[in-house]
Each structure stands twice: as structure tokens, then as C-alpha cells.
Structure 1
């Protein structure tokens, strides 16, 4: 099986998928970051396809950045210019040709993630 990466965002404070959040994927090598993909979540809180599809998959270190600030403001969960959570980076490694799923469970003042299936 060829490897690929998917993600989704759930708004745990409201109990709904988080639509309209920009996500950037970076390949990390030491202190170097190179953006390799961008996507925006759909009404199901998912990207329309894998953020890293089979044809572009390589093992290594990666970072997903979830740009949640505008979403949290738009949904009325936070106000102001400086937010507790605005851009959320998650760094992780993929060491085998496999399906990796890295979701974000989001609230205005906390988040969690895990390796999903």
C-alpha cells in the first residue's frame, strides 16, 4: 500500500465539523521547513482529498499548521486581536508507507490530536 496523509478538524466546543479553516503542510528537515501543500476544510471539516496524496508521499518529518483564528472569530467563540489559539502547529513523523490521519480537535482554549485511521 502506498502512503498518504489525511486530516480533519472537529470543533469540540460546538460539537460540529470545522468548515473553512486553512491548513498548510510543511516538510521538515532540521531547522528547514518547506511548504508542500495547502487546503481548506469543507463542510465535513475535512480536506477534499488527502493533503499529501499517494503520488507525493515520502517518509520523514512533517508539520501541519491549522490557521484557526479566523474560524474562532467568525463563529463568535473569541474576540480581539490577540488570541490564545490562532495558528496551531503539529509536528509529526511518518516512517512507513501507510495511511496517516492527523486530526485536530479544537476549542477556543485547547486542542488535541492523535494518529487516527
Structure 2
């Protein structure tokens, strides 16, 4: 029985190809993991800042007139900085290294003297005559 040597390169080429393929796969997996973790961190910070802004807007009318002009509010996940100019309220939320700005239009306290459409015509006419 004779031995034939038809294979050239032996196991070395197969090993190099396998290591290269595994390295490429590892690089893609690490890049994907980093993208996913950065996306989830940004999403979490976005919602933290939105929640802080909504909590601040709920508490804003309770502040004194002097405190309503300008100030800062600290929460456990970040800080809200605000400044009032006329009827606009400029809010900047900070959470970690991220920042989000928001502008809120403040309502003026004017009373509306319109009548309801659910009243019948005779009641509405009587009210107009009395005035």
C-alpha cells in the first residue's frame, strides 16, 4: 500500500481561516452589543428627562411668584433648570451627560364668559335679558 501526498498546507490553512472567521464574528458581536447598550442608555435617559419635566410642570403652579421666574430643581436621576420669560417657560433637563430642552407656553388666567351649547334657547334668552 502506497501513501499519497495530495494535501498541501495541512491543518495550518484551516486553522488560520477558522481563527480569522471567529475574530470577525467576535468583532461584529461586540459592535452590535455596544450599539444596543448605547441605544438602551439613551432611551432610558430620554424617558428620565421627560418624566422629570412632567413632574416639574405639575409642581410649577405651586411655586411662589419669585421662584417661578428662574431656578433649579434636583431629582434623584437629574436636574431641571428653568427660566420664565413673559408667557414662555424654558426648561432644560440634565440626566448624566445628556441634556434636553423644552419650551412650555404658560396659560393666562382670563375668565371665559361663553355660554354652554347644552342650554335651551329660552334659558339663554332669559339670561341675556337679565344682563
TM-score of the pair, normalised by structure 1: 0.31
Q: Which has the higher contact order (CA 8 A, sep 6+)?
A: 1
TM-score of the pair, normalised by structure 2: 0.29
